[in-house]
Structure 1
Amino acid sequence: MRVCGVGDNVVDRYFNQKLMFPGGNAVNFAVHAQRSGMDAAYIGVIGTDADGDLIRSSLQAEGVELKHLRVKEGPNAFATVHMDEDGNNRVWGLCEKGVSMFQLDTADLEYLGKFDLAHTGETSQLDSQLPAMRERVAISFDFSDRSLDYAASVLPYIKIAAFSRSDASDDEVKRVLDTAVSAGVELVTVTQGARGATVCHRGNVLFAPAVPVDAVDTLGAGDAFLSRLACRVLAGVTLNEAARDGAQYAAHICGTRGAFGHARPITREIPA
């Protein structure tokens, strides 16, 4: 099966460790899908600096198809991360979008018609193009911690929806699930931080507890869980098996610095 990440990419600059890593929700989803046995691709825009080169080389190393990757003169998107050596107490510093924001053109939309699933999210700012995308491919969408008021206009176009609610009560989680399901979403995930995630697939609801792990870095664990879960469900395995596999894979990612590895040293002065 074919899966395409559409939208954002970002280089996470670990200020204290002087290391940078490739990332971004759409990139992460594509990489984890490729690792999960899917034929994955990525559509997005990278800059002409070292950060853009890191995004491209990492995706190439992972085997992700880049036929519709654009290169635009200017700086790549980046996010500065201040983190202690234990992988905790993460604080965001300077973040810039660079050249990463774009709109899909006709060729991109035709290309998406060759896939079983396209993944994007609120950070990619492609909401206005969701109707055109949905005419060609099923959509997975990461809402992060955005409100249900925001989600209301997006959910009708979505097959798979992901929400982040680290401190939510059971009632709030149920509200999120009910809202998404009533809009026609087939698979809904609500990640709840270190506790785990609640997932719902066609009316079947279960809680997937987080797998205990000595975490090196939790950045990107939610993306890893969603991608592995979605790919397993697409492949036809049971929800219980897919959720368990997703939790185990997310724990594995927590044992690696960065969203999916590929560290590169920072050899220049960078702003905090």
Structure 2
Amino acid sequence: MRVCGIGDNVVDRYFNQKLMFPGGNSVNFAVHAQRSGMNAAYLGVIGTDSDGDLVRSSLQAEGVELKRLRVKDGPNAFATVHMDDDGSNRKWGLCEKGVSMFHLDTADLEYIGGFDLVHTGETSQLDGQLPEIRERASISFDFSDRDLDYAASVLPYVKIAAFSRSGADESEIARVLDIAHSAGVELVTITQGARGATVSHQGEVLFVPALPVDAVDTLGAGDAFVSRLACRILAGGSLATAATNAAQYAAVICGTQGAFGHARPITREIPA
């Protein structure tokens, strides 16, 4: 089956470690889908600097299709990460979008029609084109921690929805599930940080605890869980089996630096 991540990419610059890693929600989804046995692609814009080169080379190494990748003159999107050496504390510094924001053109939309599922999210700022995308492929959408007022305008176009709700109580989780399913969403994932995740598919609801792990870096573990779960469900797996496998995969990612590895040394001065 064919899956495409559309939209954001970013280079996470680990300031203290002097390392940089490729990432971004749409990129992460595509990489983890490829690792999950899908034929995955990424559609987005990278810059002409070393950060953009890192994103492209990492996706190529992962076997992700890049037929509609744009390269635009200018800096790639980046985010500065301040993290302790043991990975126990992470804070965000300077973040810039660079050249990453774009509008899908006619050729992009035609290309999207060749996929079983496309994934994007609130950081990609493609909400205005969701009706056009939905005419051509099913949509997976990551809302992150955005509120339900924002989600209400997006959910009617979405088949698979992901939310981040660390610290949410049971009533809030139930409300998110109810609103999403009432809008027609088939699969809902609510990641809840170190606790685990609540997943719901066509009337079946499960809580999946996070597996105990000596985490090196938790950045991107949620994206790994969401992508693996969606791919397993798309392939016809049961919710229980898919969720268990997704939790196991997310635990593996917690043992990897960056969203999915591919470290490159930072050899120049970078802003904090």
Q: In percent, how many aligned pairs have the same letter?
A: 83
- The residue that corresponds to 1:208 in the other structure is 208
The DSSP-based 3-state class of the residue aligned with 1:88 is: coil
- The residue that corresponds to 1:79 in the other structure is 79
Task: State the Cα deviation string for residues 159-203 of structure 1 (Å, max 9, x = none).
Answer: 000000001001000000000000000000000000000000001
- The residue that corresponds to 1:61 in the other structure is 61
Report how far residue 214 of structure 1 moved.
Answer: 0.2
Q: Which amino acid aligns with 1:168?
A: A
- The residue that corresponds to 2:108 in the other structure is 108
- The residue that corresponds to 1:19 in the other structure is 19
For structure 2, list consecutive stretches of 5 or more residues without a partner in the other structure: none
Report how far residue 157 of structure 1 moved.
Answer: 0.0
- The residue that corresponds to 1:233 in the other structure is 233
The separation in 2 between residues aligned to 1:38 and 1:79, in whole angstroms, is: 28
Task: State the Cα deviation string for residues 106-138 of structure 1 (Å, max 9, x = none).
Answer: 100110100000000000000000000000000
Q: Which amino acid aligns with 1:59?
A: L
Task: State the Cα deviation string for residues 86-124 of structure 1 (Å, max 9, x = none).
Answer: 112110000000000001001001101000000000000
Superposition pairs of residues 147-158 of structure 1, within 5 angstroms: 147-158=147-158
Q: Which amino acid aligns with 1:207?
A: F
Q: Which amino acid aligns with 1:268?
A: R
Runs of at least 4 residues off by over 6 Å: none
The DSSP-based 3-state class of the residue aligned with 1:269 is: coil
The separation in 2 between residues aligned to 1:271 and 1:43, in whole angstroms, is: 28
The DSSP-based 3-state class of the residue aligned with 1:144 is: coil
Query: Normalization by structure 1: what TM-score?
Result: 1.00
State the Cα RMSD in Å.
Answer: 0.3
For structure 1, list consecutive stretches of 5 or more residues without a partner in the other structure: none
Aligned length: 272
- The residue that corresponds to 1:142 in the other structure is 142
- The residue that corresponds to 1:99 in the other structure is 99
